[in-house]
Amino acid sequence: MSSNKLYVGNLSYSTTEEGLTELFTQAGTVTSAKIITDRATGRSKGFGFVEMSTNEEAEKAAEMFNNFEYLERNLKVNEAKPQEKKSFSGGGGGGRSRW
């Protein structure tokens, strides 16, 4: 594993960042835990990210918690991929009707 940042999917909507931190501490030192929420509603989107202090701890956490049942959900844990930059060029639309 080349990164110490993990993607954690299939989270229960009742999962808290504190709970996620507490869970992943079993694999090592958690430097951050973030649950992604909807901007409009503030409700969890069901996934988040956990950053461990070392790559080795991240690897251990991924092994320990991938398919691990937490709050009645089987977690999906793997190495986080870098976020792609969103492009705002192109996209069509903008055409005007000729009525």
In this structure, what CATH number is given to the domain that contains residue 26?
3.30.70.330
pLDDT at 33 over 90: yes
The closest alpha carbon to 11, from 60, 65, 62, 76, belongs to 76
Count of beta carbons in the 10 Å neighbourhood of residue 85: 6
Count of beta carbons in the 10 Å neighbourhood of residue 39: 6
Range of the domain at 49: 5-79
Q: Please, where are the H alpha helices in 52-93?
A: 55-65
Spatial neighbors of 47 by CB under 8 A, at least 6 apart, are 7, 8, 9, 10, 11, 35, 36
Say whether 36 sits in a helix, a strand or coil: strand
The confidence band for 3, taking pLDDT boundaries of 50, 70 and 90, is confident
Residue 97 inside a domain? The answer is no
Number of structural domains the chain divides into: 1
pLDDT tens across 39-70, in order?
Answer: 999 999 999 999 999 999 999 999 999 999 99
Residue 95 inside a domain? The answer is no
* CA 76 – CA 48 distance, rounded (Å): 10
Residue 35 inside a domain? The answer is yes
